Structure 1
Amino acid sequence: MSKLFFKGRIETRQNHVLAGYNVNRDVKAGSEESPIAVVVKTEERKAEVAALVAEHAIFAEIVVDADQEENTVELDTILNKPKTIVFDKKPNRNDPCSCGSGKKYKKCCA
């Protein structure tokens, strides 16, 4: 018998596979289907947040409530996404040196 043979009920295995955390979501936060929730204290702050939302084409439900603490975590997360860092390729040992000397990299700048 194979090591990869599943010894159990098929419906249980399928339910387990489907119950995991979905990291590849089809619905993005801030879209029309899934608007973000923002709580602000004043109408002036609501106008500022609404301008930011309109500028970045994000859908949000903005609630004005002076009793609650301001909550703009979801909006800040969407606006401040980390950028991908791209490094320049380091030359191989036998490539010509980038300084222009004409020597191999390993003999010049390595």
Structure 2
Amino acid sequence: MEKIFNGQKTAKLGTEKKPAVVNVQTEKRIQEVSSIFEEKGWKYIIGLEPDKPEDITDLEILLNSPKSKIAEKKVGRNEPCPCGSGNKYKKCCGK
């Protein structure tokens, strides 16, 4: 049986341990992409492959990282109803 969790933390993308890897087709594009990485302070590896399609998925992941959401506080059963009726929540909208 193969062990799935080995107790090791996974390195964050764009760090020294796990640099972002992108492949581009031109020297000009290397300069554009590297300037984005430098501006943000991310570690990266850029490959120049003119005969292959551009692959910048790691950069897109770093630029569009999901933002944390703040959960809204739930209304308690015995608290005033947020609709403004003045009744308890359980007697008004919390049926």
The number of aligned residues is 94
Percent identity over the alignment is: 39
CA distance in 2, matches of 1:67, 1:21: 38
Per-residue deviation at 1:78? 2.3
Per-residue deviation at 1:54? 1.5
Instruction: Provide structure 2 residue ranges, at least 5 long, that are not aligned to the other structure.
Output: none
Per-residue deviation at 1:41? 0.8
CA distance in 2, matches of 1:91, 1:71: 47
Whether 1:79 and 2:63 are equivalent positions in the alignment is: yes
Which structure has the larger Rg? 1
CA distance in 2, matches of 1:32, 1:63: 17
Match of 1:38 among 22, 26, 31: 22
Instruction: Provide structure 1 residue ranges, at least 5 long, that are not aligned to the other structure.
Output: 1-15
Higher RCO structure, 1 or 2 (CA under 8 Å, sep 6+): 2
In structure 2, give the amino acid aligned to 1:27.
Answer: A
Secondary structure of residue in 2 paired with 1:46: helix
Hey, what does 1:29 align to over in structure 2? 13
Query: 1 or 2, which has the higher helix percentage?
Result: 1
Hey, what does 1:7 align to over in structure 2? none
The alignment's TM-score, normalised by the length of structure 2, stands at 0.74
